[in-house]
Structure 1
């Protein structure tokens, strides 16, 4: 069954075709099981690959030290959900296929669920799309920051904040982006963009032989001691140095992200901003594959622990 499902997955290219195949939750569960376990059902509690007992609601681990019951959804983002897997798969396809994402209002209309349910589903999916790859970036890497938040000039007079021009985090949330030339992008929501913050991010994510390209922001000063650091001075209208040294790729990624922000989401709270960045980064990093393959790659990340609605909506502590 797993092999049959795998062969089919490259053949759909629309939401209608996806729903034609995933006609019920039973088909979805078989597909999810094939993706998680292949031909050997594995206990998600203890990792045992011994033959599991089949129960009326799923499986039971046969390992004598475990004996816990589980289903194909145990320890995934779908655990304890009251929403059918067919709708989850539809939401996942729409999130990964739409270049600028999809809002909770639009997803609610498309799947005929409430806006609250759609919002919850989207954040669980974003949590799943977080890139956990520990490998270091190679070759030529561009680094830049952007700031997410409303513009001061658009605020009412009593809401304006002084000295928020340029790289100010008083009223906006900074995001650091790193992009490997002809490779993947990584993004990090941060509290500030001082030298300690930027240096720690760069050092933790690049190989020592990397050629690092940044603008002339002073917080990048000193990175030449850990790698080959090239600076492009945008203030002098110098956007490309000799030898194809520029930050155009990361600037292009910011442009794509902000089109989604302005055109689809309109607002991203600082609390959830990293999840929005993970969603955008996932689509960018899989931009060269077909929608069906991008969907399938996302399914393989379903083992991410679910995030609860309470966790999503609780107020952040200010202490």
Structure 2
């Protein structure tokens, strides 16, 4: 398959297939233009989309356009995570393919070895990729929704040979994350605490009123019965399923998230935890896609940090 025959609906079968077809940076640029512009360049400065934008340096064209409307220059990378980057598009594409296809992610240490770049550069690339998985566009949930909160973090270092209040819901060294899941789609958000006001504000914004909402017996969920069909599964009493109601789906996602953070990344600061949650949510929500489809999906949503 030649690059000129690649189309935005082309899905690579594997990373080798992608590398074989996109052998140069120009190949990658043209593929990205097809994915994002569909043959009709769009000026990122004024938003005008036209096939008649000027192509600069026609004899040695490298994707530099001049807008017919606002007269500003632009390329396909302007306004994306690739902008102002000296890293080749081939390495960006390879990093994205690996990142999106590995169920639990890839560490910057491993990526720097795979791409023969510095660890600092690998971390920079991964951080920029994660930025694209913002979940604020997720639609309001309806149907049957499971809600739960979890705490990310480990035990504190011993002080005076003691551990104090570092288990369970302790906020001393752990950060709470709230999650909703329905029909195979998950939404997560890092929260300051698991108080009722915090949880209910997210639920009211993300879950359609009148929906069946399944939670455990945490006191922060009390009072939800006024706006929702609130089904409670009392985990504290050893009950994990009541009829057809349970919270196994959201707890299964927490398991994937924590295993990835511990096994691949080892540590995640509070500052960046939200991005890691978005990363795992994106892969979970696109789990029915092939790796090639997911790769194209990432290229469609790339934004600048």
Q: Distance in 2 between matches of 1:108 and 1:147?
A: 30
1:21 paired residue number: 21
C-alpha deviation, 1:132, in angstroms? 3.7
C-alpha deviation, 1:198, in angstroms? 0.3
Aligned-partner SS, 2:11? helix
- With structure 1 as the length reference, what TM-score do the two structures score? 0.89
1:78 to 73, 77, 82: 82
C-alpha deviation, 1:9, in angstroms? 2.9
Aligned-partner SS, 2:151? strand
C-alpha deviation, 1:39, in angstroms? 2.0
2:155 to 142, 146, 151: 151
Q: Are 1:187 and 2:188 an aligned pair?
A: yes
Whether the 8 Å contact between 1:161 and 1:171 is mirrored in structure 2 is no
Map residues 194-273 of structure 1 onto 2, 5 A cutoff.
194-242=195-243, 244-273=244-273
- With structure 2 as the length reference, what TM-score do the two structures score? 0.93
1:190-236 Cα offsets, whole Å, 9 max, x none, are 11111111000111101113110111000111111121111110011
Map residues 1-319 of structure 1 onto 2, 5 A cutoff.
4-6=5-7, 9-13=10-14, 15-50=15-50, 51-56=52-57, 58-63=64-69, 66-152=70-156, 155-158=157-160, 162-180=164-182, 182-242=183-243, 244-302=244-302, 304=303, 306-307=304-305
C-alpha deviation, 1:165, in angstroms? 2.8
Whether the 8 Å contact between 1:2 and 1:34 is mirrored in structure 2 is no
Aligned-partner SS, 2:10? helix
Aligned-partner SS, 1:10? coil
Aligned-partner SS, 1:9? coil
Deviates most, 54-63 or 225-234: 54-63
Aligned-partner SS, 2:292? helix
Q: Distance in 2 between matches of 1:173 and 1:111?
A: 33
Aligned-partner SS, 1:167? coil
Whether the 8 Å contact between 1:2 and 1:39 is mirrored in structure 2 is no
- What is the RMSD of the two structures over their aligned residues, measured on CA atoms? 1.8
Runs of 4+ in 1 over 6 A off after TM superposition: none
1:67-116 Cα offsets, whole Å, 9 max, x none, are 11100100011110000111111010111100111000000011111000
Q: Which runs of 5+ in 2 are unaligned?
A: none
Whether the 8 Å contact between 2:151 and 2:175 is mirrored in structure 1 is yes
Q: Which runs of 5+ in 1 are unaligned?
A: 308-319
Q: Distance in 1 between matches of 2:136 and 2:47?
A: 20
Whether the 8 Å contact between 2:180 and 2:187 is mirrored in structure 1 is yes
CA 67–143 in structure 1, closer or farther in 2 if over 3 Å, else same:
same
Number of residue pairs matched by the alignment? 298
